[in-house]
Structure 1
Amino acid sequence: MAEAPRCKHNLSGRQAGAVLVFAVIALVTLNLPDYPGGFSASAFLHLPIEIPLLGLALVLLPRRMALVLAALATFAIGTVLFLKLGDIGVQSAFRRPFNPYLDLRIFADGWNLFSGSFGAMTAMLTVAGVIILFVGVLVLFFLSMRPMAKAAGKKARGMTWVFSGLLAVGLALWAAGAATGTRTYADARASTYIVNRVHAVTQAMRDMQRFDRALAESVSLPQTDTLFQAVRGRDVVLIFIESYGRSAIEDPLYAPLIELRLKVVGDELKKAGFAAASGWSRSPTMGGLSWLAHGTFLSGLWVDNQARYDRLMTSHRESLNRLFREAGWRTAAVMPAITMDWPESAYYGYDTILAADDLGYEGEPFNWVTMPDQYTLSAFDRLVRHTGDHRPVMAEIALISSHAPWTPVPEMIDWSDVGDGSVFDEQATSGDPPAVVWADRERVRRHYIGTIDYALETVGDYIARFGEDAVFIVLGDHQPAPLITGSDASRAVPVHVISCDAHLVERFEAEGFTPGMIPSANAPEPPMDEMRGKLIRIFSEPVQPR
């Protein structure tokens, strides 16, 4: 029997394999969700029209032009994949899209946190594996397009029919969805995604121009002889508690523990002669990038991205620290998380900078956390407040025990036993490592709130015991990542003002603060950039008799 003739449009095995690899990589990349909650099987049941259009172009163009197009398509797919992976990571941590113009430094900060928590070797192998996988996908994608770009004559007809059929199906699905108002199973949204990203970058550039104008604006300040007159002669201590957000007080998972802690702290402070008032302030960041919150609070400008922060650091805008120094205070920064050079410190105007190596801690680190908060405050008291210099201190302290990975959870000891910190070695080496804790989401949450509880206990006890006549502003820098708070949490953080001067504290109550250590749920959430001006105004009002 004679053999039946083969259809002249059949694909060869090599061509079929190339088309399949090309389609799978393009389909997965272009349909990849750009936020963590978007992952589902249905997310990938969608035909990007760009796939058959690109396939037809590769088959129909002359060979050299097709190969150039294949290279450009590989670059485009790589760009989309990079941006979407960036979106997923940034959305997971900070609940906003990734912007390459503003966020490239995130990779360096992520490396510092990851390597500090899981070890440099683990971090290096993980990063190397991700890079190799990423490059491998792009190489495979380019190689899958070469048979299409080199096809000619009858060899190209099969692929032409395949991509023409896909295009016809895609256009029909697109039209049907648009006509019926139902879900569209095909469209050109991948191209829209790229256009939106380009638009976001141009918007960021224009935003920087607006920020430059804000930096250049003059700021009205009280007269020199009245500046900070209400707190003259007293230490003013600004304490940022890492990842201490509104959710710690109001989320049902955390409220029972933290509300009780705040009530205990409030009673302890009251017994020691302190008054307190608490409110909310909306942070420019969440999940990390604490320095954006510090810069916003101290400059009085909204610093919600790295580009703005970098520009602020080179500006002549006077920080709150520098204003206190000019008014006669000794200014100090206590930064236990700083383990490298810190050129940005020049902007703030500190007389004294105590980074991790300057605090004299001889104990073991708590994974990424270099030292527990109790040691940080003990060192601050010894190295800054009681040095024999009788000028008042204006200090900024960034506590870090409540920084991820939240393991192990520190415990307070007697202040007289703190010493050089080696007493904390047993705590620092106890408990499970981050990889074990982070394998259980509920356990991560328990560890997180445990560190917040510890930080509040430590700060409250320090103020009650050693606060003397100082004025304390204690606040969170930002909410933790959505893993801890959920995806719809407020960006607000608690702000506590604590002083033995009840009249001074009452001024904050007149601004919407709630008496005590627990802010009212109905209190306003002004942005953090307003705090600088509010402090200057309240601290510069005429002194009330004590």
Structure 2
Amino acid sequence: MKPDTDALAIVRILAAGLVLNALLVLPAWWRDGIIGSVWFAPEALLLPAWVAVASGRRRSALLRAASGGLLAFVIVAGFFDALVQSVLGRPLNVFVDPLMLRAGFHLVDGSFGRWQATLASVLLAVAVIALAWVIFRLLRPQALPPGKAAPAIILASLLLGLPWVAAKLPVIESQAWRLLVTQAASLEATRDARARILAAADAPEFEPGPLPGLAGRDVYVVFIESYGGSALDRARMAGRVEPLLRRWTERLGAAGVEAVSGRMKAPIRGGQSWLSHASLLSGLSIDSQVWYEMLLEKDIGLLSDDFRQTGHVAVNVAPGIVMDWPEGDRLGFDRIYAAADLGYEGPPLGWVTMPDEYTLHTFSERIRPQQDGPVFAQIALISSHWPWRPVIEPLDDHSRIGHGRVYSSSIDEGERPATLLFDPDRMRRAYVRSLAYSLAVTFDWARRNLPSEALLIVLGDHQPVSLVTGREAGSEVPVHVISGDRDLLAGFIERGFVPGLLPVNVDEAPPITRLRHWLRSDFATAEHLP
């Protein structure tokens, strides 16, 4: 082979390595939230060089296909890992996270529209195919003589790596090896979680049992979407949320309603609210769709079963459910009120089907009166769901709520979703405004409509996305326990909850899975009967 041809082969190997290196490190920058966190992925050069010097057409084609498939998988997984880190605050789990694609489609569909969601899906598929084609083209056999293969690889490595070494940058991290290590850890965690769920099916502490201390009393669990501890920890958000909580502490107290508050850990961050709901109901940490579906299949007692044995009607109010939801029956609810069952005739407000104020008003005015006997209700509020627009204000006159047509004037208020998506500061402001609305209407509803002997638990389902909280945020959510009967709050105070609606920081917050077990412990006798 002529020297100039050998030099051209080295240049091609180097060029392929540069392009592949960029494709490998860019998602790492996104994942880490730091430009330059990684500069050089060794496989970006070693695999092209390996393919380039392979001898024999059949062997070369096999290496090219295998290497191309590996690189394509690592790069695609890298981008999805960065996305999961940005939204959910955890690494990608290739064994369970593909199940989230459907939920992601419905989120984009509800927030932006069906054709936008379809277009995004098509573009994603085209991008993956284009990536595979680019990689296959880059991995071209150069047919270097065996005696020149090693010097060529060494020279290309020096040309690609020396600039970063000279700059004294922390440059080298194999993205393929990192993916292997993280997924091995995910597989181990997946196996442990499966074992815990299987064990719970036979464990006495998860068998359904009555709660005599709550017999005859209504018990409501209200989830506020994306209500995370960061709303109290980040100064710019706390500046609006803390005064609101202090103000509503006083208003509830003036109405004869007491509250205690604490912090607990949600099993997830950024999304998948139903996993937090299932974790509270079961007393098990359900942090993936796989475990959610497994919980539904196994004969594991739930909090809804506990209340049914106590004589309650188990009701689920879910304005975010717009499709068939057979899971509701398997979660032990006697009656399910999805979006179509709530009688809303107002405009959809982005992804949010109806305002929280309407949901709570409808529960008290129409749903609760239809139930005979005490009620256990899980109510999932959604006004503070991403993309946090439009922003509406609570109504002063609740007699105007009716079937929701009064909210027509709010449909165009707030930022556009696409605008917020690329401006974290504006996104945080919209989040805080939406959250303040949800908190205000929830506590106002409790002041107006909570029966004096009832128990109300208000909590966040998870932290908002990392773009709002920052990468360093944990998984804590505020929990408020509210009642006109202070005796019902005693057990929570013993566990560190403080009076009022403003929880304090703790060194180690318990998981929300403990709530079911606390209720079973505190109300195992009838001493709290009204």
Could you state the TM-score of these two structures normalised by the residue count of structure 1? 0.89
| 1:300–1:544 Cα change, 3 Å | closer
Letter of the structure 1 residue corresponding to residue 403 of structure 2? D
Change (3 A) 1:455 1:42: closer
Residue 308 of structure 1: SS of its match in structure 2?
helix
Which residue pairs with 2:264 in the alignment? 281
Tell me how far 1:451 sits from its aligned partner. Answer: 1.1
- Equivalent pair of 1:244/1:478 in contact (CA under 8 Å): yes
Q: Which residue of 2 aligns with 1:30?
A: 24
1:441, CA displacement in angstroms? 1.9
1:77, CA displacement in angstroms? 0.9
Farther-moved stretch of structure 1 (23-32 vs 230-239):
23-32
SS of residue matched to 2:260: strand
* 1:162 paired to 2:152: yes
In 1: Cα distance, 2:216 partner to 2:240 partner: 37
Of 44, 50, 54 in structure 2, the residue corresponding to residue 60 of structure 1 is 54
Alignment of 1:491 with 2:475, yes or no, is: yes
Deviation at 1:529, TM superposition (A): 1.1
The reply on whether 1:207 has 2:197 as its aligned counterpart is no
Are the equivalent residues in 2 in contact too, given 1:67–1:146 (CA < 8 A)? no
For residue 328 of structure 1, what is the aligned residue in structure 2? 311
Which segments of 5 or more consecutive residues in structure 1 lack a partner in the other structure?
A: 1-6
Q: Do 1:299 and 1:317's aligned partners in 2 also have CA atoms closer than 8 Å?
A: yes
Q: Which residue of 1 aligns with 2:425?
A: 442
Moved more, 425-434 or 297-306: 425-434
Residue in 2 that maps onto 1:318: 301
**Residues 1:390 and 2:372 are matched in the alignment:** yes
8 A Cα contact 1:215 1:312, kept in partner: no
Deviates more, 1:530-539 or 1:87-96: 530-539
Structure 2 CA distance for aligned equivalents of residues 360 and 451 of structure 1:
23
Q: CA deviation at 1:484?
A: 1.0
Contact 1:285–1:293 at 8 Å: present in 2 too?
yes
Residues 476 and 194 of structure 1: is their aligned pair in 2 closer, same or farther, counting only changes over 3 Å? closer
Structure 1 residue 167: deviation in Å? 4.4
Say whether the 8 Å CA contact 1:286–1:480 is kept in structure 2: yes
Confirm or deny: 8 A CA contact 1:170 1:186 kept in the other structure: no
Q: After TM superposition, give the deviation of residue 289 of structure 1 in Å.
A: 0.8
Q: How does 1:372-411 map to 2 (within 5 A)?
A: 372-387=355-370, 389-411=371-393
1:407-447: per-residue Cα shift (whole Å, max 9, x none)? Answer: 11121112111001111111123333211233432221111
Task: Indicate if the aligned counterparts of 1:173 and 1:184 stay in contact, CA closer than 8 A.
Answer: no
SS at 2:204 equivalent: coil
**Equivalent residues in 2 for 1:92-241, closer than 5 Å:** 92-148=86-142, 151=143, 161-167=151-157, 185-186=171-172, 189-220=174-205, 227-241=210-224
Opposite residue 392 of structure 2, the aligned amino acid is P
Q: Does the 8 Å CA contact 1:211/1:308 hold for their aligned counterparts?
A: no
Match of 1:503 in 2: 487
**What is the distance in 1 between the residues matched to 2:422 and 2:206?**
51
Once residues 489 and 348 of structure 2 are traced to their aligned partners in structure 1, the CA distance between those partners, rounded to angstroms, is 37
Pairwise CA distance, 1:363: 0.7
SS in structure 2 of the partner of residue 99 of structure 1: coil
Partner of 1:71: 65
TM-fit CA distance, 1:288: 0.5
Distance 1:497 1:524, change over 3 A: farther
Distance 1:258 1:49, change over 3 A: closer
> 215, 227, 247: which is aligned to 1:264?
247
Residues 185, 494 of structure 1: alpha-carbon distance in 2 compared, 3 angstrom cutoff:
closer
Structure 1 contact 246–479 (Cα < 8 Å) conserved? yes
Task: Please report how far the alpha carbon of residue 217 of structure 1 lies from its aligned counterpart in structure 2 after TM superposition.
Answer: 3.1
Deviations 1:196-245 (A, max 9, x none): 14413531442244224332332248996xx3222221111110000111
- In the alignment, the residues of structure 2 paired with residue 44 and residue 456 of structure 1 have an alpha-carbon distance, to the nearest angstrom, of 42
**2: CA distance, partners of 1:534 / 1:208:** 22
Return closer, same or farther for 1:183/1:438 CA change in 2, 3 Å cut-off.
closer
Distance, in Å, in 2 between the alignment partners of 1:264 and 1:359 is: 30
CA deviation vs aligned residue, 1:24-61 (integer Å, no higher than 9, x gap) = 33212333443636366645642515623542443232
CA distance, structure 2, for counterparts of residue 18 and residue 358 of structure 1: 63
Structure 2, unpaired ranges of 5+: none
Distance across 2 between alignment mates of 1:40 and 1:10: 40
Match of 1:369 in 2: 352
Question: For 1:351-410, what per-residue CA distance to the aligned partner results, in whole angstroms no more than 9, with x for missing partners?
Answer: 1100011111111111001100011011111332112x4301100000000000001112
Check 1:39–1:516 CA distance in 2 against 1; reply closer, same or farther (3 A cut).
Answer: closer
The share of aligned pairs that are identical, in percent, is 33
Compute the displacement of 1:462 (Å): 0.7
Q: Cα distance, 1:497 vs. partner?
A: 0.9
Aligned partners of 2:245 and 2:524: how far apart in 1? 29
Cα distance in 1, alignment partners of residues 172 and 474 from structure 2: 35
Match of 1:531 in 2: 515
> Does the CA-based 8 Å contact 1:53-1:167 persist in structure 2?
no
Distance 1:166 1:55, change over 3 A: same
Alignment map for 1:343-354 (pairs within 5 Å): 343-354=326-337
Name the SS of the counterpart of 2:434 in structure 1.
helix
Compare 508-517 and 206-215 and name the one that shifted more: 206-215
Query: Which residue number in structure 2 is paired with residue 87 of structure 1?
Result: 81
Which amino acid is the alignment partner of residue 246 of structure 1? Answer: G
Q: TM-score, normalised by structure 2?
A: 0.92
Match of 1:512 among 474, 496, 499: 496
State which drifts further: 314-323 or 106-115: 106-115
Deviation at 1:21, TM superposition (A): 5.0
* 1:252–1:363 distance in 2 versus 1, CA, 3 Å: same
Q: How does 1:398-437 map to 2 (within 5 A)?
A: 398-413=380-395, 414-437=397-420
SS at match of 2:196: helix
- Correspondence 1:342 to 2:332: no
- Distance in 2, matches of 1:60 and 1:427, equals 65
**2:482 is aligned with what amino acid?**
I
Deviates more, 1:401-410 or 1:204-213: 204-213
1:48 and 2:42 matched: yes
Instruction: Give the C-alpha shift of residue 20 in structure 1.
Output: 5.3
Pairing partner for 1:8 from 2, 10, 13: 2
1:11 touches 1:158 (CA, 8 Å); kept in 2? no
SS of aligned partner of 1:111: helix
Letter in 1 for 2:181: N
In structure 2, how many angstroms separate the alpha carbons of the residues matched to 1:104 and 1:343?
21
After the TM superposition, which of the residue ranges 449-458 and 205-214 deviates more from structure 2? 205-214
1:4 matched residue in structure 2: none
Cα distance in 2, alignment partners of residues 512 and 64 from structure 1? 69
CA distance in 1, matches of 2:42, 2:33: 17
Instruction: State the 1:90 CA deviation.
Output: 0.4
